[in-house]
Amino acid sequence: MTVPIAKLSFWGVRGSTPTVDPATWRYGGNTPCLELMTPDGTQFILDCGTGLRMLGSRWAAPNGGKAAETHILVTHYHWDHIQGIPFFSPLYVENNEFHFYSFRSKFLGRDSLKQVFEAQMAMPYFPVDMSAMSAKRKFKEVDGGDSFKVGENKITAQWLNHPQGCLGFRIETSAGTVAYATDNEPGDAKLDENLRELAAGADIFINDAQFTPEQLETTRKGWGHSSWLEGAKVARKAGAKTLVLFHHDPDSTDRMVDAILRQAREEFDSVFAASEGMVVTLGAPGDRVQAHMPGTRTALRREAQFHAKVCGVTEGGKDFEEETMVRDISLQGALISLKHLPRLQSELQVTMEAPGADGLQTMKLRGYVVRIDAGAEKGHSAVGVVFTD
Minimal distance, residue 148 CB to Zn ion, in Å: 23
Minimal distance, residue 80 CB to Zn ion, in Å: 4
The backbone region for 110, taken as left when phi is positive above 0, alpha when psi lies in -120 to 50, beta otherwise, is beta
Q: Which residue is nearest to Zn ion (CB)?
A: 78
Q: Which range binds Zn ion by CB under 5 A, 14-22, 142-150, 259-267, 299-307?
A: 14-22
183 or 203: whose CB is closer to Zn ion?
A: 183
Q: Could you say which residues in the range 17-76 bind Zn ion, by CB under 5 A?
A: none
**What's the rounded Cα separation, in Å, for the pair 114 and 201?**
34
172 or 208: whose CB is closer to Zn ion?
A: 208
311 — phi, psi (to 5°)?
-115, 140
Minimal distance, residue 15 CB to Zn ion, in Å: 5
- From 183, 192, 230, 276, residue interacting with Zn ion (rule: CB under 5 A): 183
Interface mask toward Zn ion for 79-108; x: CB under 5 A:
-x----------------------------
CB atoms < 10 A from the CB of 144, how many? 16
Q: Write the single-letter amino acid at 343.
A: R
Minimal distance, residue 33 CB to Zn ion, in Å: 11
Of 306, 317, 215, nearest in space to 262 by CA: 317
Task: Supply the DSSP symbol for 87.
Answer: G
Q: Which range binds Zn ion by CB under 5 A, 78-86, 142-150, 230-238, 362-370?
A: 78-86
**What's the rounded Cα separation, in Å, for the pair 101 and 118?**
16
Minimal distance, residue 300 CB to Zn ion, in Å: 32
∠ CA 29-30-34, nearest 5°, is 130
35 or 208: whose CB is closer to Zn ion?
A: 208
Outline where the chain has alpha helix (H).
51-59, 79-82, 112-120, 189-199, 213-217, 228-238, 254-267
79 or 148: whose CB is closer to Zn ion?
A: 79
15 or 186: whose CB is closer to Zn ion?
A: 15
Q: Could you say which residues in the range 224-263 bind Zn ion, by CB under 5 A?
A: none
Minimal distance, residue 254 CB to Zn ion, in Å: 19
Is residue 124 reached through a cis peptide bond, with omega within 30 degrees of 0 on the bond before it? Answer: yes
The distance from CA 324 to its chain's CA centroid, rounded to whole angstroms, is 32
8 A C-beta contact, residue 32 and residue 247: yes
Task: Supply the DSSP symbol for 152.
Answer: T
Minimal distance, residue 277 CB to Zn ion, in Å: 20
For residue 301, give every residue at least 6 positions away whose Cβ sits within 8 Å of its Cβ, in sequence order, or none: 328, 329, 330, 331
User: How many chain residues interact with Zn ion (CB under 5 A)?
Assistant: 4
- From 14, 78, 196, 220, residue interacting with Zn ion (rule: CB under 5 A): 78
49 or 86: whose CB is closer to Zn ion?
A: 49
What is the binding site for Zn ion (CB under 5 A)?
A: 15, 78, 80, 183
